[in-house]
Amino acid sequence: MGGCVIIVEGKTDKERLLRVLAEPVTIYCTYGTYSQEKGEQLLAQAESADEVYLFTDEDDSGKKLRASLSDDFPHAVHLYTPRMYREVANTPLPVLAEILERAGFAVKSFDS
């Protein structure tokens, strides 16, 4: 299979990223919670991915989730939304496009 996988917190984050990406990317949601069972499920789903990216919110729950995900995905690339927006879902599309483009993803063009 190969390809890239992005793990985000929620459905809104996933939908927001899909509006920016100009290439097919698999995005998995944790729905804000994390457990050993969910970790095992994500590991199985992302097993054949060439690269895994973690893109969580910059709030306390997002940072806690990122720490848990980092344990299960120690080689994952971390993507960060600027603290001023706190959440991926609140980050303007042009800013998300810039973050993803810097990480090597093909993104849609947005007028700032």
pLDDT tens by residue, 49-103: 999 999 999 999 999 999 999 999 999 999 999 999 999 999 999 999 999 999 9
pLDDT tier at 2, thresholds 50, 70, 90: low
CB-based burial label for 97 (10 Å; 0-12, 13-18, 19+): buried
pLDDT tens by residue, 89-106: 999 999 999 999 999 999
What pLDDT, on a 0 to 100 scale, did the predictor assign at position 80?
Answer: 97
Q: Are 9 and 38 in contact (CB under 8 A)?
A: no
Q: Are 60 and 84 in contact (CB under 8 A)?
A: no
For residue 1, pLDDT beyond 50: no
